[in-house]
Amino acid sequence: MTTISEPLAPSAHAPVPARWRRAARFVLSLPPAYVGTALLLLLAALLRPQLLSLFLLPLIARQAAPLGLAVIGQSLVMRGRSIDLSSGGVIVAVSYILTSGYFPVSDAGAMGLCLALGITVGVINGALIVKARASSMIVTLAMAMILLGIVIALSQFRAPGDAPEFLRELARFRVLGIPLPVLVWLAVLAPVALLLRTTVYGRYLDAVGANPRAAALSGIPYLRVIFVGHVASALISVLCGFILVGFVGKGSVTLGQDLALNSLAAAILGGVNFGSGKGGMLGPAVAAFMLTFLFNFLTSLGLGEPGRLMLQGAIIAAAALVYSLNKK
Amino acid sequence: MRAPSRPKVEYRSAQREGPPVRSIRSGVSRYTLGLPLLLFAVLALAAPNFLAPQNLANISGQITALLIVTLGQLVVALVGGIDLSVGSVVSLASCLVATQSDPLWGITLALALGLVVGLVNGAGVTLAGIHPLIMTLATMTFLQGFAFLVLPIPGGQIAPELRQLVNGTLWAVPQPIWWCAVLALLVGVLLHRTRLGLHIFAVGANAHSAQLNGVRSVRVVMAAYVTCSLLAVVAGIYLASRVASGDPTMGASFSLESVTAVALGGVQLTGGVGSVLGVITGALSLGLINNGINLFGVSPFLRGAITGALLLAAVCVQRRRMVGL
């Protein structure tokens, strides 16, 4: 929203120069993730400088990679006025396929199976949302429940075991000091950001988000745009699953369960909202880093579980509050 | 240049076909009514001890808490919102009641908490314009932390008077059924016999039109969130009295389960469509599924999968005009 039209106060008796006020207004109009990250880094520099060391920062970035990937998928569907809460279910299913040994295939075969699962889930989600016009929140939530339920029931017969060796290696591997998961994150982020800016699909997505009715009337295949978003989001969840399984080294039925809601928070803090992609793809990425850094920072302060959760909730609310009040 | 505000998208065609307006507004269809009846019939025929009085009393005890929370979720869904914080409110209320020695003071404290949470959620959603998912996600996280602070591990004491209120029978009817009946009646009266109820439907159907017609939508939405939080507090008190202790994670599953029950009951999450009857059928269906899983000896771990599949089936038969959320 432009706020330029507001009359500037006469500078005669204004001690604060207009330049400063314009700067403040610019900072406030940014997605809350940027200011939040800056504030957090500043606070950390004062209170816990060791968090900013060259040893720990890449580790935190590595930890942020799954959330960073998940938020890419979440932003894609949110810009089309939809939502995807199924990532937790997909991740648990991926971890089970990779680690249980239920499927007598090689590691590469198992990863292929995971991708096939991702496509299936994405297609089912998309089809139900677009064809049956079901609420995307309910559909993806139900999908997560189904996948999680099946995995938990199956793990009674065969508990999840160790992760494939090369995934664990990949999670530890570094290129020029940068952990590989971070590179994977960037390798997905950069093309998606570029494609959204330059391709017809990106324009369609903006049009659908701005006004689905108008987009449909102007002949934009808007159902297909939403459908493709959901398939992409499910595939990205599979990728998150690979990375998380590599981190943990073991299969687990609690892996990535907070990712669906955290990615929603990160998308909003990054300036993406239902139907608008103002924060682009960079905003959500910064927000993913911010949230992960925040969790680490709060842990390093020695706050127990109660204090950590309370501060986390308060900060998400505060950031969302500043952003929406400013947008009004 | 101020950008013109974007017109709200509405998918209503001028000529409407299909069922009459009244049943459209309630959201009750033959599927929402048929599901619990079908489940009941299947269970009564296939599970020999389903109709035993003990089992029926069990079911009513289990469903009550979910039904109370779901009634609150209904009120919020009717104004087009959603409240994910109900689970944490249930947990926190149970902790508060279990840690106070005077039950009356504990209940007062818990109800005051519900009022504050509802006001904060409502203010965030209407005054600040934060998306309800984010706003209630934030309060959910905060309150979960607060619950751990009040009572780190399950425990505490519940006054015997409170326990009597949920466990015995009154006039040969189990107490939980009285709780359900009274609260469902109260919410029904609120929605259909008061001005606020009419305004809730009006705001949910079209907030802009309601505003133009003189409805103060800010107050209406605030009232909806407060009602929802207060009902969650009641559910927390009920649950704590039933298990005779508080538990900081007791209600965690209610957030999503209440949304599930609301959707099964034909309530539209976009607002303006829903009814107490639908919500009762939704909560009843979920409860019967759980009971059936127990009686048939199906792995309780499959519960989530079965509920999810049912939910998918339920939303697919209720085709909407809108795509997305």
Q: State whether residue B163 sits within 8 Å of chain A by CB.
A: no
pLDDT tens digits, one per residue of A215-236: 888 888 888 888 999 999 999 9
Specify if A141 maps to a domain: yes
Nearest to B325 among A83, A261, A308 (CB): A83
Q: State whether residue B130 sits within 8 Å of chain A by CB.
A: yes
> What is the radius of gyration, based on Cα positions, of chain B?
20
The span from the CA of B180 to the CA of A159, in Å, is: 41
Q: Cβ A213–B263 below 8 Å, yes or no?
A: no
> Scanning every residue of chain A, which has its alpha carbon at the shortest distance from the alpha carbon of B129?
A324
- CA-nearest of B37, B63, B284, B90 to B176 is B63
Nearest to B128 among A311, A314, A324 (CB): A324
Domain of residue A73 covers: 66-256
DSSP-assigned states of every residue in B148-191: HHH-SSSB----HHHHHHHHSEETTEEHHHHHHHHHHHHHHHHH
Predicted confidence band of residue B14 (pLDDT cuts 50, 70, 90): very low
The reply to whether CATH 1.10.3470 applies to domain B60-316 is yes
Long-range contacts at B128-131 (CB < 8 A, ≥ 24 apart): B128/A320, B128/A321, B128/A324, B128/A325, B129/A324, B129/A325, B129/A327, B129/A328, B130/A317, B130/A320, B130/A321, B130/A324, B131/A268, B131/A273, B131/A274, B131/A320
pLDDT on residue A11: 47
The span from the CA of B107 to the CA of A56, in Å, is: 47
Mean pLDDT over each residue of chain A, to the nearest integer? 82
Which chain A positions have a beta carbon within 8 Å of B269's beta carbon?
135, 137-138
pLDDT tens digits, one per residue of A10-32: 444 556 678 888 887 777 777 87
Which chain B positions have a beta carbon within 8 Å of A258's beta carbon?
none
Q: Cβ B304–A82 below 8 Å, yes or no?
A: no
How many distinct structural domains can be found in chain A? 1
Q: State whether residue B6 sits within 8 Å of chain A by CB.
A: yes
pLDDT on residue B1: 44
The span from the CA of A218 to the CA of A51, in Å, is: 51
Specify if A180 maps to a domain: yes
What percentage of chain B exceeds 90 in pLDDT? 20
User: HEC profile for B6-64?
Assistant: CCCCCCCCCCCCCCCHHHHHHCCCHHHHHHHHHHHHHHHHHCCCCCCHHHHHHHHHHHH
Q: Cβ B323–A226 below 8 Å, yes or no?
A: yes
Torsion angles phi and psi, residue A250, rounded to 5:
-145, 155
Q: State whether residue B325 sits within 8 Å of chain A by CB.
A: yes
Specify if A24 maps to a domain: no
Taking CB atoms and an 8 Å cut-off, how many pairs form between chains A and B? 193
Q: Cβ A320–B256 below 8 Å, yes or no?
A: no
The span from the CA of A178 to the CA of A183, in Å, is: 7
Specify if A83 maps to a domain: yes
Nearest to A149 among B141, B268, B302 (CB): B302
Mean pLDDT computed over A284-307? 85
pLDDT on residue A124: 92
In the DSSP assignment, the letter for residue A177 is T
Across the strands, what pairs with A273?
Answer: A276
ipTM topping 0.95: no
Predicted confidence band of residue B97 (pLDDT cuts 50, 70, 90): confident
To the nearest whole Å, the CA of B231 is away from the closest chain A CA by: 22
Q: Cβ B302–A153 below 8 Å, yes or no?
A: yes
Most A CBs within 10 Å: which of B312, B317, B318, B322, as the mutation test of the A interface? B312
Query: Which segment of A124-138, A274-288, B4-18, B188-202 scores lowest on mean pLDDT?
Result: B4-18
Q: Cβ B323–A139 below 8 Å, yes or no?
A: no
Most A CBs within 10 Å: which of B127, B293, B323, B325, as the mutation test of the A interface? B323
Amino acid at B269: L
- CA-nearest of B254, B132, B116, B255 to B204 is B132
pLDDT exceeds 60 at position A141: yes
pLDDT on residue B19: 54
- CA-nearest of A78, A73, A76, A69 to A137 is A78
pLDDT tens digits, one per residue of A81-112: 888 888 888 998 988 888 877 777 777 788 88
pLDDT tens digits, one per residue of A278-291: 778 888 999 999 98
Which chain A positions have a beta carbon within 8 Å of B319's beta carbon?
132-134
Specify if A167 maps to a domain: yes
The residue ranking higher by pLDDT, A240 or A55, is: A240
pLDDT on residue A328: 61
Q: Quickly count: other Cβ atoms within 10 Å of residue B20's Cβ.
A: 8
Mean pLDDT computed over B186-208? 87
To the nearest whole Å, the CA of B11 is away from the closest chain A CA by: 8
pLDDT exceeds 60 at position A323: yes
Specify if A155 maps to a domain: yes
Mean pLDDT computed over B5-28? 56
Q: Cβ A136–B325 below 8 Å, yes or no?
A: yes
To the nearest whole Å, the CA of A151 is away from the closest chain B CA by: 9
To the nearest whole Å, the CA of B272 is away from the closest chain A CA by: 15
Which chain A positions have a beta carbon within 8 Å of B9's beta carbon?
211-213
Mean pLDDT over each residue of chain B, to the nearest integer? 82
Indicate the pTM of the whole model.
0.79
Predicted confidence band of residue B121 (pLDDT cuts 50, 70, 90): very high
| H helical segments located in A52-106 | 56-79, 87-99
pLDDT tens digits, one per residue of B272-319: 888 888 899 989 888 888 888 877 777 777 777 887 887 787 777 766
Query: Which segment of A271-275, B89-93, B220-224 scores lowest on mean pLDDT?
Result: A271-275
- The answer for residues whose C-beta is within 8 angstroms of residue B132's C-beta and 6 or more apart is B76, B81, B82, B83, B121, B125
pLDDT exceeds 80 at position A59: yes
- The dihedral over CA atoms of A198, A200, A205, A211, expressed in degrees to the nearest 10, equals 120
Q: Cβ B320–A148 below 8 Å, yes or no?
A: no
Specify if A248 maps to a domain: yes
Specify if A246 maps to a domain: yes
The span from the CA of A52 to the CA of A144, in Å, is: 36
pLDDT tens digits, one per residue of A153-177: 888 777 677 777 777 777 777 777 7
Q: Cβ A146–B304 below 8 Å, yes or no?
A: yes
DSSP-assigned states of every residue in B293-318: HHHTT--GGGHHHHHHHHHHHHHHSS
pLDDT on residue A90: 92
Is A247 in a helix, a strand, or coil?
A: helix
Predicted confidence band of residue B18 (pLDDT cuts 50, 70, 90): low
Is B88 in a helix, a strand, or coil?
A: helix
pLDDT tens digits, one per residue of B230-280: 999 999 999 888 888 888 888 888 888 888 888 888 888 777 888 888 899
Predicted confidence band of residue A6 (pLDDT cuts 50, 70, 90): very low
Torsion angles phi and psi, residue A276, rounded to 5:
-140, 140
Structure tokens at B73: 């979720």
Nearest to B149 among A142, A306, A317 (CB): A306
pLDDT exceeds 70 at position A277: yes
pLDDT exceeds 60 at position B3: no
Q: A213 near B9, Cβ under 8 Å?
A: yes
- The answer for residues whose C-beta is within 8 angstroms of residue A272's C-beta and 6 or more apart is A75, A78, A79, A278, A279, A283, A284
**Do you know the residue count of chain A?**
328
Q: A288 near B131, Cβ under 8 Å?
A: no
Selected residues 61-100 of chain B with any CB under 8 Å from a CB in chain A: 82
